[in-house]
Homo-oligomer: A and B are copies of this chain.
Amino acid sequence: MTEPRRRPPGSTDVARLAGVSQKTVSRVMNGEQYVSDEVRERVLAAARELGYRRNTAARALNLGRFHRIGVASLGTSLFGPSSLLIALERRVREIGYAFTVVNTLEGEEGGIMKAVESLLEQGVDGIVLSEPIDEGQTLRIEADVPVLSFGELAGLDGPRVMVTGGSGVGAGRTATEHLLGLGHATVWHVAGPSRWFAARDRAQGWREALAAAGAPEPPMLEGDWSPASGYAAGRILAADPEVTAVFVANDDMAIGLLRALTEAGRAVPEQVSVVGMDDIPSAAYLSPPLTTIRQDFEATAAHGLELLVERIESGPGQAIRDDLPMELVVRRSTAPPKE
């Protein structure tokens, strides 16, 4: 007598117990019509009794689809990316798909491509590149799987690729316009790492707003999203008395910047105004409370996934590029210039 390693019950077992055919069980489990109430009841009772659960593998094999969406993400606990990931998960589940994540450690060679390959091997119906960064190589995805990228990923190419915008450019523009509107002669910018398209977008929005207002464009500083890098940038900016307004590409860097300004005796907002981005939960409790920009990750996720699922279920459509809604949250870190 071998190990009683009983395999889980299948539709055949349920069928036997209910005294019907396997096919009828399948019909009941899929809620098809043309099953008498009496039979349906009997099957459901049998299924309950046996603890029956449909076998996903067999279903996927038969249907040729997995009902699974894979996300290649960046494995960072940064507020933006992780918020987007949560929004994606929720939305994916709402539309009846399963959810898989593969993280690509930043800096890893060809990380995104590896992540995509891993997703393809797992078998997914659609792929999302949630935080595309520029890895300096073309990213050609051969498989017959639609791919959604949040942000223009240079070199991304393939038969079924589509791109939808975040709110980067608009956000950069809004933040900069806010500061200019307060009367500042120009606005400095501490950007995120340039490999990130989100960082590029924000910087571009900043540039556009300056140009539109005819304001001079000061040299741009680049951080790595971390408070430490914001602090480093802050030390540089604090030393320059010309600096009266700064747009920082995320709140974490803004925290470091605030600290550097404080240490240098530059008062915020009296001497320097600061705008962050993300509206992290602690933004309202910093010293001073931070003016920042809040993105709507729920909307971003929903919009992108809608496009993706449409491709999955009915084939190609046209790509879309658009800015999604965002909101300026004015707190106490911005004010008109002192002078």
Give chain A's interface residues, CB within 8 Å of chain B: 7-8, 51, 53-61, 64, 66, 68, 75-77, 79, 82-83, 86, 89-90, 93, 98-103, 105, 118, 120-123, 142-144, 226-228, 230-231, 252, 255-256, 258-259, 262, 281-282, 284-287
CA distance A105 to B86 in the complex (A): 10
A230 to B102, CA, bound (A): 34
Q: Which of B60, B255, B287 contacts A259 (CB 8 A)?
A: B287
Known interface pairs A53-B143, A227-B282; 11 further A-B residue pairs with C-beta atoms within 8 A, sorted by A's residue number: A51-B142, A56-B121, A57-B66, A60-B60, A77-B86, A90-B105, A93-B103, A256-B285, A259-B285, A259-B286, A259-B287
Nearest B residue to A87 via CB reads B75
Instruction: List residues of chain B with CB within 8 A of the CB of A51.
Output: 142-143
Measured CB to CB, the closest approach of chain B to A313, in angstroms, equals 13
Contact at A99–B102, with CB atoms within 8 Å?
yes
Asked whether, in the complex, the Cβ of A100 is within 8 Å of the Cβ of B99, the reply is: yes
Contacts of A123 in B (CB 8 A): 55-57
Q: Which residues of B contact A143 (CB under 8 A)?
A: 8, 51, 53
- Give the copy number: 2
- In the assembled complex, 14 residue pairs joining A and B whose CB atoms fall closer than 8 Å, in A order, are A53-B143, A57-B123, A75-B86, A77-B79, A77-B82, A93-B118, A98-B100, A99-B101, A100-B100, A228-B284, A228-B285, A259-B286, A259-B287, A287-B287
Asked if A227 and B281 make an inter-chain contact with CB atoms under 8 angstroms apart, the answer reads yes
Bound complex: CA A228 to CA B286 (Å)? 11
Q: Which residue of B lies closest to A121 (CB)?
A: B53
> Which residues of chain B are near A98, meaning CB under 8 Å?
100, 122
CB distance from A22 to the nearest CB of B (A): 15
Residues of B within 8 A of A82 (CB): 77, 82
B60–A57 touching, CB < 8 Å? yes
> In the complex, which residues of chain B have a beta carbon less than 8 angstroms from the beta carbon of A228?
281, 284-285
Contact of A285 (CB < 8 Å), options: B64, B103, B255: B255
Q: Shortest distance in angstroms between A124's beta carbon and chain B's nearest beta carbon?
A: 9
> Which residues of chain B are within 8 angstroms of A286 by Cβ–Cβ distance?
255, 259
Contacts of A142 in B (CB 8 A): 51
Measured between beta carbons, the chain B residues less than 8 angstroms from A83 are: 77
The chain B residue sitting closest to A66, CB to CB, is B57
Minimal Cβ-Cβ distance residue in B for A103: B89
